[in-house]
Structure 1
């Protein structure tokens, strides 16, 4: 397989933010289309590398390797063995096989995973060992629906939300991909100061600083495709150099939290990320802030952290109106009722799961 080969690719993202992921692809000059759970697109090694390096809201990039109809296990082994698996697994390694079966004669996921590996072994001159966790190597993603099987290889390895800067965690952190989705959905111009008054361990401010300075989220990590037989190191290094040349100055980003432990964690994480952010232990500070700002935040809503959510959301709205002469806001809330407590004119943009809790993203009108 050469670098000019066109792959069928799938950027996996959390349900509810697929449109944002597609917009990111379009910003990279890549055409695609939204489907449930992500965005489909085509491209060569360049597009494969760019999407892994730059997409802030995707969890992984899958390469669609095989597609066929299947009704028996022997047929599954035979058809899987036809594909060039040596490209993706050139040496013995651990892989995680993820299987979903729906409305098909082959419905036992564990048995399907065993036959997938057996078919791959028929093609390879070495064996693969099944991993317990994806981070041990990479993964093979199998979906059988209506007796049609699709087999994909995860080009990312560990989930793309693992940027490499989270060295300290606090209670109920928001995932990096969701923090970026909030910032991108807010319409932030990357010049106006951005503030998070409930910053926790600093995920939203750090993602904002990376976005504002045009730093790729994948700069400080490795990817599964680096171990493939067709890895083009020259192309990869070229893309990294182009990315370095595009880095700009850090915008003004502020993070506040009432917990000193959280702010200490945020400072350490920001240091690991190499970004410049002003953190402070404070609850709705009224002085030393810019009059115009974007507020992007995830207030505690009483699900994982015991608080009075109505009081917090009410105080949040009052603070915005009192401190800023002009602001735009994006925040999470589990219900329209709680969002309305802020007294801010806003609209629900999308809904997704945050730590297993269904929440809505609201942006000011």
Structure 2
């Protein structure tokens, strides 16, 4: 049972392909993509590995089962038939979350209550008790009703995967770590190229870029709900963490920097970088976007410019975009990648994007505007004798 599971990596709408690509890079080839989730096969060790490694997913769920549920009775019996005691011990805490979309069972609180009762009944039959203390490890269940099909899952993650553990403070309306990692992965940037964020806020984009460059597993500095599950055990988590530490490439030189006009934001970014173990590797400046002058060639600006909803002032937001455009124009061979919900972004920036991609920053629909500069020249191939050919 526990060696051949259907696992689900949930994610914001628009990032499914990025999560699937991450899973493929980790060796999970057989994936299925749906809205906001990517399913894959794995075992107990894979729960540990994917929680530690996935940069753009929100959480890792275990698919417990799916079945038709036109009535509350069908929901109860279908839930009761699933093997909850295989996962949840006698002292387990098992809250139930729920959601319903285009289902006859539209009352989410009622569905949650029925699922909870069904799990209790199944556990009564298994353990021979009428009451459970729920004072042990946490096993958060979810019932998701899509149409008239009920999908039941267990959450292995706990707090969302965007909570890496390095950001103790944040600026107003910060970019989530998972979205920041997605923007870096969607850009043309590679570790051998400079990267600069002129609206860095609390520093999330530069930090996530550095973690990607050094192959730092984003979950190394945090804990997960399923670390306390006896069915997984400490040994598997220790194995997965040792693998992650062995994979670190901290000898890769970094040319990553960020700036912001707000000195308090820069202080927060510096503290977050130190917490992430990157305090000496990243550079920070208090500087308006109009005055940035990053060194190096063929670099990438990857940024989340301020916009009206965050500033409360559309005029200031447009000024920020114009400053970005002017600074990018001086950099010549650099590429620019910016996320914004502003539909007039390209007009204000002064040119159409070479490519756009729809993403959701929280609940806000955005476009990821991509302005391509030239790629760096490829290094010459070496002959058999070691000379450039």
Q: Confirm or deny a common fold (TM above 0.5).
A: yes
Q: Is the contact between residue 54 and residue 217 of structure 1 (CA under 8 Å) also seen in structure 2?
A: yes
Name whichever structure is richer in strand by fraction. Answer: 1
1:312 aligns with 2:310: no
Deviations 1:123-179 (A, max 9, x none): 22453769xxxxx94521212233321100111111111111111111111111111
Bigger mean CA offset, 158-167 vs 244-253:
244-253
Normalised to the residue count of structure 1, the TM-score between the two structures is 0.91
Structure 2: distance between partners of 1:67 and 1:333: 37
Shift of 1:182: 0.5
Structure 1: distance between partners of 2:299 and 2:106: 53
Alpha-carbon RMSD across the aligned residues, in angstroms, is 2.2
Alignment match, 1:351? 358
Structure 1 residues not aligned, in runs of 5+:
131-135
Shift of 1:336: 4.4
Number of residue pairs aligned between Structure 1 and Structure 2:
357
**After the TM superposition, which residues 288-327 of structure 1 pair with which residues of structure 2 at under 5 Å, given as runs?**
289-307=295-313, 308-322=316-330, 324-327=331-334
Normalised to the residue count of structure 2, the TM-score between the two structures is 0.85
Alignment match, 1:66? 65
Structure 2: distance between partners of 1:312 and 1:138: 45
Alignment match, 2:110? 111
Structure 2: distance between partners of 1:8 and 1:356: 28
Structure 2 residues not aligned, in runs of 5+:
373-389
Instruction: Determine which structure has more spread, i.e. the larger CA radius of gyration.
Output: 2
Change (3 A) 1:357 1:336: same
Structure 2: distance between partners of 1:148 and 1:192: 48
Alignment match, 1:133? none
1:179 aligns with 2:184: no
Q: Is the contact between residue 155 and residue 225 of structure 1 (CA under 8 Å) also seen in structure 2?
A: yes
Shift of 1:344: 4.9
Bigger mean CA offset, 248-257 vs 352-361:
352-361
Structure 1: distance between partners of 2:193 and 2:335: 10
1:19 aligns with 2:26: no
1:264 aligns with 2:267: yes
**After the TM superposition, which residues 242-261 of structure 1 pair with which residues of structure 2 at under 5 Å, given as runs?**
242-249=243-250, 251-261=254-264
